[in-house]
Amino acid sequence: MPERSTYKTTTARRAPRDEGFVQDEQVILEGVDISGQWNKMYEPREIVDYDLTHLEELTAIPGAESMGWCYQCAQCIPACPVDTAGGDYGPRKIFRRLQTGMDLFDHQDMWLCTSCQNCVRVCPKEVDMVEIMPAARAQAVLDGRNVPGELLEMFQNVAEYGNPMGESARRRTRWTRKAGVDIRLLPKNPGPVDVLWFVGDYYAFHNRGVDAAQAMARVFSRLGVDFGILGVDERTDGDSQRLAGEPGLFEEVAEHNLEQFGKYEFGKIVVSGPHAYNAIKNEYPRVSHGKTGGDTYPVEHYTQFLAQQVDALAPLLSGSFARKVTFHDPCYLGRHNGEYDAPRRLLEAVPGIEFVEMYRCKAQGYCCGGGGGGMWLDGFAAEHQMERLSENRVKEAVEVGAEVLAVCCPYEVSRFEDAVKSTDNDGKLEVLDIIEILDACMEPIGEGVA
Amino acid sequence: MKIVVLMKRVPDLVEDLEVDGSGKALATEHLKLTVNEFDDHALEEGLLLKETSGGELTVVALDAADVDKMLFTALAKGADRVLKITGAANVEGNTGLAAVFEEVLSAQEHDLILTGVQAADDRDGQLGPIVAALLDVPCVEVVTQVEVGEPGEGMVTVHKEYSGGVVAELEISLPAVLGIQAARQSPRYAPVSKVRQIQQSATIETLAGAGESSGAAAGGGSGFSVVEMTAPETGAGAQMLAGVDELMAVLEAKGVV
Amino acid sequence: MANDVLVVAEHLKGELGEITFELLGIGKTLAAALGGQCVVALIGGNDGMVTALGAAERVVRVDGEGLSDFDPDSHGDALLAVYEAVDPRVVLVGYTSMGMDLASNLATRAGVPHAASCIALVEAGENIHATAQLYGGKLNVTSDLGGGRCVASVLAGSGAVEAGKAEGAPATESVAAPAGRGRVRFKRLIEPEAGDVDITAKEVLVAIGRGIGSKDDIEVAEELAEELDGAVAGSRPLIDSGWLPKTRQVGKSGLKVSPKLYLALGVSGAPEHIEGMKSSATIVAVNTDKQAPIFNYAHYGLVEDLFDVCEELTEAIQEKKG
């Protein structure tokens, strides 16, 4: 915890204005006499004492200390996607509100951060919202203090069913039936594979995610990838639950998934989603499970895995995709994990494509609003923002003239498709997972499979 | 006040329920049990009463799949004690279960017994009124609000819901059983971190239920057998209609116009 | 033991409930099959109710202090007294708020089997078979209630109200009210507060989704809902945009509903929405997109413009009503 003095300002005696200039003050600075008349520019500022109870309550939480380091430079505000979407938000504003009496535990500000990390990128004081918010939220969840119902329902679903939708675990493999290619279910058919594909909830359960999952299976199959999936034994990666304030739930699902990983022999894990990538790469190694400590597994996002094989992939892309395409960088693949090139390399390999960047891209990419639990806070966020982040983003895609918004995060297809409709861009912009574009450009396989 | 909440685990309706080869029972291979959602409301109402009026809250449940997790969760939410009845796995229906609960309750101090108004598997009636009849105490079903009277009065005032939102206010002398329809607020969430912590420190008290013999002695068992269990007819996907005329015919057949 | 069927009448605010007539219709058919009479137990009723129970062969009344308003304890005692006096083969109780208090109580005290949540009762040889809707409507379970006495609580909507409705002057007799035990005391009835409609309590919901173009178009849906004696509900986007109040939201972050009819207009059927309405008894989906996932969950589908459907259907219903 920082010393109190790092953020507490002290009261200085102020020269009353009606006394005019301060006369004949004797000041020696580094041996130089700078005495003289002080004009108002140098008049002592009016500073008051703040009641720091709420700020100190927050910064006392392990992980949330850096909230106190803010010196109000406000570089974070234009970087904050929530503020941009009319949410009156950002670390500087939160600090100021805490200083002037806001109890974060009673305030919507607790739940609006999407943990996109764009503020951390510009913050000179290293105020780290990605650490602060999950820690503060965990306390709120533990104490049952004003946690939005939508979020609690999602936690409950994960606790009960292992996925945020509350779907039966047995339906996790339903999508495989119509993929058109054989998919090895490791629990039924163990044995070594090169790739353990961690499919993820949205690919397994969401109707648009299923399209992408099936496309992925077909692309893997055409490339001859030796892969298997955990099927009904897979659970949500837990990253969003951790960021939304349920570390215990994160640990529970992580322990479960680690236990499954431990059962099979495989070369690497390939994930569909940036959150799963972040969790398995950066968070799972810290989770102890069973008698061992955390396990580190080689993990790649699917765009990374495929980009490495782009030479083998390119000849398979026999079709043409003659459309103007832009790409949305997922926060947890890009800013959080530094991968900007792999998705672009895949798109560049697509014949006929006209690629256009959005204004806010790569390290400065704009958040879709789904991170940090935002995926399950749409109703809550709508009450406190002028628009959804996904809507803001979709407008940008349209503005740069894109016909297709390509994504590579399973949360995003549904988010952006919703936003396309609500911003009246139906028919103007199509949202597709990169894997769907690749699949569409390859020779059809699995024809005739119902 | 001593509050006892009776909870049971029921087949999870999120899952596809399958009938076994006999055609008379659920297939158990993939059967997943979950807490009866109304029991969860009963627990919530009990916790709210405890918080406002004081007292001790005990949760009682029969041993079943994942029952420990349910009981630890109840502790994490604020229950004082949890009791697991073992050795009574063969009791049949709510009649058999009620007989076991009656035996347990006879040996436990209790003023107010709360349970869910109903459950998805109530083939032989609801648990609350059967337990009440066995204990010879009053019971009110479909309760949406409970207020505890002044200390020493030994009574509660409840709201019992009728259709159309009409509510009856009833005063009940304790001890009594209440079948809770909905707690005043939705059941609280027990953070997994807290449940895991409690799992390390707290204990579940176990009681040996007398099992089959006691159920039979108390007139237990539903006393009637299942002839068949079938899924109601439902089509896969929608039956497509050609126009508003056909839609109108459907609405007429369904008795909505 | 007689072969009679005892129907437990239900009344609130001086009016017999429709369930009573449904039970009477079912009871008469069953009694005829068993070769017995259909007898009604009327506890704390009035003379007007007896006239309305003309479909019954006999009405057994219990009257006494504190019986005119329902309380589970004294009505339970009174019902047991009637049961002992009539000694029926089958007792039919509504699977309703009042019936839930009475059926299990009677069965336990009388020591006879009780099949709950029934939708059908038939005589099968010497025995009574009851079919119940259990597991949230996912399974129908038929039970053999044996050749002796039994209690069945019956779900509303299992029989036709008309079948039990007839004015007349059935034979009446009285059973003395048991001494009150005073353990439960009726205080008052509270009418629902006038607020926004409770969509979870509506039998018909007209649900609108993003397919609806502007706020003004909601009126078309509201008109239809009015004709159907239902209410308008919506998917999240409509609530987010302020077109409908939060109290009308169906789905993951809204309310879970299971009406008799869920008419989904321009609702695509996102899983978030499906979660809140999938247990509806009948789901009808109207959407211009024939690929819309809502059609996988609906029982009936219509690929048409929702405004046309709304208008035509409203007209058709008005026409039918005359």
Q: Per residue in B33-61, pLDDT tens?
A: 999 989 999 999 999 999 999 999 999 99
The alpha carbon of residue B106 is apart from the nearest alpha carbon of chain C, in Å, by 17
Which residues of C fall within a CB distance of 8 Å from A207?
270-271, 293
Q: What is the CATH classification number for the domain harbouring A250?
A: 3.40.50.1860
C:207-266 residues touching chain B, CB 8 A cutoff: 227-228, 260-261
Q: How far is CA C260 from the centre of its chain?
A: 10
Do residues B49 and A175 touch, judged by C-beta distance below 8 A? no
A140/A20 same-domain check: no
Query: Nearest chain B Cα to C128, which residue?
Result: B224
Return the structure tokens found at C225: 């809902």
Q: Where are the alpha helices (DSSP H) in B107-229?
A: 127-135, 192-201, 212-217
CA separation, residue B134 to residues A81, B83, B139, C233 (Å): 62, 20, 11, 44
Kindly tell me if the per-residue pLDDT of C253 is higher than 80.
no
Residue tagged 């102890």 (tokens):
A288
- Please state the three-class secondary structure of A285-308 as a single string: HHCCECCECCCCCCEEEHHHHHHC
Kindly tell me if the per-residue pLDDT of A42 is higher than 60.
no
Q: Which of the four pLDDT bands, split at 50, 70 and 90, describes residue C30?
A: very high
Q: Which of the four pLDDT bands, split at 50, 70 and 90, describes residue A5?
A: very low
CA distance C265 to C208: 5
A38/A67 same-domain check: no
Please write the tens of the pLDDT for every residue from B131-176: 999 999 999 999 989 999 888 889 999 999 887 568 899 999 999 9
Kindly tell me if the per-residue pLDDT of B238 is higher than 90.
no
Task: Say if A342 falls within a structural domain.
Answer: yes
Q: What is the CATH classification number for the domain harbouring A81?
A: 1.10.1060.10
What is the pLDDT, as a whole number, of residue B248? 92
Query: Nearest chain A Cα to B15, which residue?
Result: A168
C:71-110 residues touching chain B, CB 8 A cutoff: 71-73, 96-98, 100-101, 103-105, 107-109
Do residues A35 and A25 touch, judged by C-beta distance below 8 A? yes
Strand segments (E) across A222-337: 227-229, 266-271, 299-301, 324-327
CA separation, residue C212 to residues A341, A387, C218, C265 (Å): 41, 19, 7, 8
* Cβ–Cβ below 8 Å for B159 and C190: yes
The alpha carbon of residue C234 is apart from the nearest alpha carbon of chain B, in Å, by 20
Examine the fold and report which residue of A276, A307, A338 is the final residue of a domain before the chain moves on.
A307
Cβ neighbours of residue B228 closer than 8 Å, sequence gap 6 or more? B23, B24, C141, C142
Give the three-class secondary structure for A61.
coil
If you average pLDDT over every residue of chain B, what do you get? 89
A:404-423 residues touching chain C, CB 8 A cutoff: 414, 418, 421-422
Would you call A46 exposed, middle or buried from its count of C-beta atoms within 10 A (0-12, 13-18, 19+)? Answer: exposed
Query: Nearest chain A Cα to B35, which residue?
Result: A160
Q: What is the pTM of this model?
A: 0.82
Given the cut 0.85, state whether the ipTM is greater than it. yes
From B15, B34, B192, residue closest to A249, measured CB to CB: B192
Would you call A355 exposed, middle or buried from its count of C-beta atoms within 10 A (0-12, 13-18, 19+)? Answer: middle
Residue B4 backbone dihedrals phi, psi, to 5 degrees: -120, 130
Q: Where are the alpha helices (DSSP H) in C18-69?
A: 18-34, 47-52
Cβ neighbours of residue C48 closer than 8 Å, sequence gap 6 or more? none
Residue tagged 């507060």 (tokens):
C193
Share of chain B above pLDDT 90, in %: 67
Residue tagged 């993951």 (tokens):
C252
Task: Say if A74 falls within a structural domain.
Answer: yes
Q: Which of the four pLDDT bands, split at 50, 70 and 90, describes residue C265?
A: very high
Residue tagged 């894109």 (tokens):
A402
The alpha carbon of residue A175 is apart from the nearest alpha carbon of chain B, in Å, by 16
- List beta partners, residue C261: C204, C282
What is the pLDDT, as a whole number, of residue A8? 38
Other Cβ atoms less than 10 A from the Cβ of A108: the count is 17
Closest by alpha carbon to A347, among A401, A268, A407?
Answer: A407
From C100, C283, C302, residue closest to B126, measured CB to CB: C100
- Go through the domains of chain B in sequence order and give each one's CATH number: 2-231 (3.40.50.620)
Do residues B113 and B6 touch, judged by C-beta distance below 8 A? yes
Kindly tell me if the per-residue pLDDT of A6 is higher than 50.
no
In a mutagenesis test of the A interface, which of C236, C239, C240, C250 is the best target, namely the one with the most A β-carbons within 10 Å? C240
Do residues A342 and A304 touch, judged by C-beta distance below 8 A? yes
State whether residue B184 sits within 8 Å of chain A by CB.
no
The alpha carbon of residue B181 is apart from the nearest alpha carbon of chain A, in Å, by 19
Task: Say if A380 falls within a structural domain.
Answer: yes
Give the three-class secondary structure for A47.
coil
Task: Say if A159 falls within a structural domain.
Answer: no
A188/A290 same-domain check: yes
Closest by alpha carbon to C76, among C120, C110, C117, C31?
Answer: C110
Which residues of C fall within a CB distance of 8 Å from A378?
236, 240, 253
A303/A318 same-domain check: no
Q: Which residue has the higher pLDDT, A389 or C268?
A: A389
- What average pLDDT does the segment B89-97 reach? 88
State whether residue A152 sits within 8 Å of chain C by CB.
no
Do residues A316 and A322 touch, judged by C-beta distance below 8 A? no
Task: Say if A160 falls within a structural domain.
Answer: no
What is the pLDDT, as a whole number, of residue A333? 98
Kindly tell me if the per-residue pLDDT of B213 is higher than 70.
no
Task: Say if A335 falls within a structural domain.
Answer: yes
A259/A389 same-domain check: no
Cα three-residue angle A202-A206-A208, rounded to 5 degrees: 100
State whether residue B243 sits within 8 Å of chain C by CB.
yes
Q: What is the CA radius of gyration of chain C?
A: 23
- List beta partners, residue B230: C140
Would you call C111 exposed, middle or buried from its count of C-beta atoms within 10 A (0-12, 13-18, 19+)? Answer: exposed
Kindly tell me if the per-residue pLDDT of A373 is higher than 50.
yes
State whether residue C282 sits within 8 Å of chain B by CB.
yes
- Number of domain units in chain A: 4
Give the three-class secondary structure for C41.
strand
Return the structure tokens found at B247: 């839609």
Other Cβ atoms less than 10 A from the Cβ of B133: the count is 24
CA distance A313 to A435: 12
Task: Say if A47 falls within a structural domain.
Answer: no
Looking only at the bridges linking them, the beta strands covering C184-190 and B167-173 are antiparallel
Examine the fold and report which residue of A84, A117, A147 is the final residue of a domain before the chain moves on.
A147
Least confident of A49-58, A260-269, B83-92: B83-92
Share of chain A above pLDDT 70, in %: 89
H or E, element range at A409: none
A36/A62 same-domain check: no
- Go through the domains of chain C in sequence order and give each one's CATH number: 5-174 (3.40.50.620), 199-321 (3.40.50.1220)
DSSP state of C65: T
- What average pLDDT does the segment C291-313 reach? 85
A193/A299 same-domain check: yes
Kindly tell me if the per-residue pLDDT of A13 is higher than 60.
no
Do residues A231 and A171 touch, judged by C-beta distance below 8 A? no
The sign of the dihedral angle between the CA atoms of B255, C299, C273, C317 is negative
Share of chain C above pLDDT 70, in %: 94
A123/A178 same-domain check: no
Which residues of B fall within a CB distance of 8 Å from C105?
129-130, 132-133, 139
The alpha carbon of residue B232 is apart from the nearest alpha carbon of chain C, in Å, by 6
Give the three-class secondary structure for C148.
coil
What is the pLDDT, as a whole number, of residue A22? 54
A64/A138 same-domain check: yes
A36/A60 same-domain check: no
Do residues C209 and C241 touch, judged by C-beta distance below 8 A? no
Kindly tell me if the per-residue pLDDT of A3 is higher than 80.
no
A331/A366 same-domain check: yes
Examine the fold and report which residue of A115, A147, A179 is the final residue of a domain before the chain moves on.
A147
DSSP state of C177: P
Q: Which of the four pLDDT bands, split at 50, 70 and 90, describes residue C252?
A: low
Which residues of A fall within a CB distance of 8 Å from C275?
165-166
The alpha carbon of residue C77 is apart from the nearest alpha carbon of chain A, in Å, by 42
Contacts for A8-14 with beta carbons within 8 Å, 24 or more apart?
A8/A50, A8/A52, A9/A47, A9/A50, A10/A47, A11/A47, A11/A48, A11/A49, A12/A44, A12/A45, A12/A47, A13/A44, A14/A43, A14/A44, A14/A45, A14/A46
If you average pLDDT over every residue of chain A, what do you get? 90
Closest by alpha carbon to C86, among C66, C65, C56?
Answer: C56
CA distance A42 to B148: 66
Q: Which of the four pLDDT bands, split at 50, 70 and 90, describes residue C272?
A: low
C:15-34 residues touching chain B, CB 8 A cutoff: none
Residue tagged 């972050």 (tokens):
C253
A127/A176 same-domain check: no
DSSP letter for each residue of A157-200: HHHHHSSTT---GGGGGGGGGGSSS--EETTTS-S-EEEEEE--
Question: Domain range holding A245?
Answer: 168-307
DSSP state of B5: E
CA distance C120 to C142: 9
What is the pLDDT, as a whole number, of residue A14? 43
Task: Say if A162 falls within a structural domain.
Answer: no
What is the pLDDT, as a whole number, of residue A375? 93
Closest by alpha carbon to A286, among A333, A236, A242?
Answer: A242
Other Cβ atoms less than 10 A from the Cβ of A255: the count is 18
Closest by alpha carbon to A87, among A56, A112, A54?
Answer: A112
